[in-house]
Structures are given as structure tokens and as C-alpha cells.
Chain A
Amino acid sequence: MSDEPKEHASKSDWVELSDPLKFPAGLPGFEEHKQFILESRAEMRPFLWLRSVDDPEVALPVISCLLLKKQVLPHISKEELSLIDCHSQDDIAPYYILRVDPKEGTITANTRAPVIINTKTMQGRQVILDQDDLRVDELLTNLMPSRGGA
């Protein structure tokens, strides 16, 4: 983490949007964090934050892949689904982690490694897809549905 002080948004306006989500393997870089919740602020929707229950200072902005064009919906293998006790892609909520660059005014999405959540068991994991053409820093504007449909 940077040593520079950062101004956090006031926590009072945050709304929890999920029960605690179990991440048995943590996330790469946050392997010790085993539980997260999804939360947001009214004015920030549809951007959500995956916030660590173990350390609330750790929060990663995410967006539901279902809001983006269908062509970029990640395909998750049966083996990966089974790791969160899931047997159907229909039972997962997929998200892309976002990186915000305030100086450049850009938002990029990590399409190589979506976060998937089993909506029945509330288990989650970050999947690293075996597709070299997927970018970890895809511009969010490139993922938007084209006008008139996806």
C-alpha cells in the first residue's frame, strides 16, 4: 500500500448489498482475506465495492459483468465452478474488478480474472481465465453494449 494519505469516502453513506461472501482462497494479493461484502453508495451505482470483512480498509471497486456487452461475459469452466460448489453458470454472479485512474480519468476492468459468486451458497473466488487475449486493464468504455442492444 502507498504511504501517501488518502481521503476515504465517508462510510456513513455506504449500503451493504450482500451477506458476507466466503472466499476460501482469498484474492491474489489478499490471500488472508476470507470474507468480503458487496456495498455501494446510492450515487455510485452501478459501481459496487468488494470490501474485506477482515480489514475494511481493503475495498476493490467492481461492476457486474451482466451490465456489459454479452460478448465479454466470462465463460467459467466446470472445474472452476465446482470450486465454489456450483454446477451451473446460471448460478453465479460474475464481476470485473475495476481500476480507477483519477489523473487519466480512465476506468479499466480486469477481464482476465473475473470474480464469481455462487448466489446460492455465497461462496466466491477470483478466476484467472486461460485466455491470453483477455486484458487485465481493458477500458470500461470498450465493454459497453453497443447502442440498440448487446
Chain B
Amino acid sequence: MLVLTRKCGESIRVADNIIFTILECAGGQVRVGITAPPQLPVHREEVYLRIREENLAAARSGDTMDAMDALLKSAPEELRRKGKSEESGEPGRPVDSS
């Protein structure tokens, strides 16, 4: 890991379009301003890891027979009615069924 020492107000540039600026250091916390292009979303690490873990857990349980049974038994009645009325909102269908 590259380690750099910076003072408040100083910055670090990554490539030609990402800038980290140290805004404030107080009470054991550091406020960092980040400028990055929109195609590079920035998140707190723990938030990203939580989403990642949720996705993995969803996939682990998602298409087992147990999960299907649980979905059918636990689904609110309103949702099951909507499912039958084909309001599921798919973005597009295969060509052969349209």
C-alpha cells in the first residue's frame, strides 16, 4: 500500500481525474472530499461490503426449492394477486413471445 502524509487542505491525485482532498482532521476522524467522474461511484467501504454480502446471501438461498416454498408461503396476498394479473414489470420479452 502506498502511504502518503498530507495536511488539511492538501490533496492527492489519482490518474488524471480523481482527487482526494483532506478537509478536516478532528476527534480521531478525517473528512475527505473526493472528486471523481460519475462512472466511478464512490462509497464507504463498509456499505459496499454489506451490499456485496447481501447479494451473495440472496444468490445462496435464492433458487432452492426451500426458498421457493418460503416465497410462496410468506408472500403477501396482494403480491400474489398482482403476479397472476401479470403486472410484474419486465423490461422486455424475448422476440419469439412478443
Chain B residues within an 8 Å CB radius of A82: 38
Whether B72 lies near A44 (C-beta < 8 A) is yes
Find chain A residues with CB under 8 A from B39 CB.
Answer: 83
What is the number of contacts between chain A and chain B, taking CB atoms within 8 Å?
176
Q: Interface residues of B, CB < 8 Å — how many?
A: 49
Main secondary structure of the interface of A (DSSP, over half): mixed
Query: Interface residues of A toward B: which range?
Result: 35 or more
Q: Which residues of B contact A72 (CB under 8 A)?
A: none
B residues neighboring A (CB under 8 Å):
38-39, 41, 43, 47-48, 50-76, 78-80, 82-84, 86-95
Measured CB to CB, the residues of A under 8 A from B are 1-2, 6-9, 16-19, 21, 27-30, 38, 40-41, 43-49, 51, 58-61, 63-64, 66-67, 79-80, 82-83, 93, 97-102, 105-107, 110, 112-113, 117-119, 122, 126, 128, 136-137, 140-141, 144-145
